[in-house]
Homo-oligomer: A and B are copies of this chain.
Amino acid sequence: VSRRGGVVKEPLSRDRIVAVALASLEQDGLAGMSLRKIAQALETGPASLYAYVENLEELQALVLDKALAEVKTKPSREQDVRARLTAVLGSHLSVLLSKPGLAQLAMTTIAVGPNGLRIVEALLGILEDAGVDAATAAWAVDLLTLYTTAIAAEQSHRQAQEHADGADTLAPVARAIAAVSADTHPRIVAARDHLVSGTGQGRGAWAIEVLLSGILHTPRVPEPATAPASTRSKRLKPRPDGRG
């Protein structure tokens, strides 16, 4: 409200837009979050948002990073390496699972905002403490976060279906598996119950164990000859004398 008494609209800002977008994501899921709806919630037209945000993709990246602010990356120093990794990854997983749509968003958007970087930095530090070399640690962080995201997305996909269809409808996965013939797919039929069992948290915890065991038991990453040319050229500049 202005000093003259008229109702004054709070000015737009990147922060307000991102906050409203996150709320929209929480309520309507990824597909339900649109620039037009966000603009409407802010009582303006969709074109106004382009003064603060390049496009929808950038807005989505900002929303993801805001949500990742809740991930805890400072586990108590007393725990052993494994427990600390599990703590950070578990926090990541539970944040992604906490809001429907967030996991889907994380799947299609690469998290390179401040909070994404904070998580990567923390994981690299713990792996370093575990004695993993830098190259392996880098790939391992990618593997760990990718999988945490993927399992959250799969789980939230399932929840979304259940929510839409009602409680007693089986998810399409379960339905397909139930319809499989033992003649053609004996092992699927035998493992039927296991294939659809478990919660996101449960499967995530098990997967983290598997990944950690694997990383600690696997040979180092292959030599850096696989680096893309664009990266390598920055590092290995040709020597001026041509003997590079």
Contacts and interface: CB of A to CB of B under 8 A. Distances in A.
Given A110-B172, A117-B180, A146-B150, A226 B202 contact: yes
Contacts of A224: 193-194, 197
A104 to B, nearest CB: 8
Interface in A148-168: 149-151, 153-154, 157, 167-168
A107 B107 contact: yes
Given A213-B214, A226-B197, A146 B147 contact: yes
Interface residues of A, number: 76
13 contacts: A104-B108, A120-B188, A121-B187, A125-B187, A140-B210, A141-B195, A143-B207, A193-B235, A206-B221, A209-B219, A210-B211, A210-B214, A210-B215
Interface in A168-194: 168, 170, 172-174, 176-177, 180, 184-188, 190-191, 193-194
Ranked nearest first, the 6 interchain pairs of A and B with the lowest CB-CB distance are A214-B214, A138-B194, A112-B176, A210-B214, A124-B187, A197-B227
Nearest to A120: B188
A28 B210 CA distance: 37
Nearest to A189: B121
Interface in A122-154: 124-125, 128, 134-135, 137-143, 146-147, 149-151, 153-154
A19 interface: no
In the complex, the count of this chain's copies comes to: 2
A4 interface: no
B227 A198 contact: yes
Secondary structure of the A contact surface, majority rule: helix
A212 B209 contact: no
A196 interface: yes
A19 to B, nearest CB: 22
A76 interface: no
Given A146-B150, A174-B231, A210-B214, 20 more contacts: A104-B108, A107-B107, A112-B172, A113-B176, A117-B185, A117-B188, A121-B187, A124-B188, A139-B194, A142-B195, A143-B147, A143-B210, A146-B151, A168-B230, A202-B222, A206-B221, A209-B218, A213-B213, A214-B215, A217-B217
A82 interface: no
Contacts of A112: 172-173, 176-177
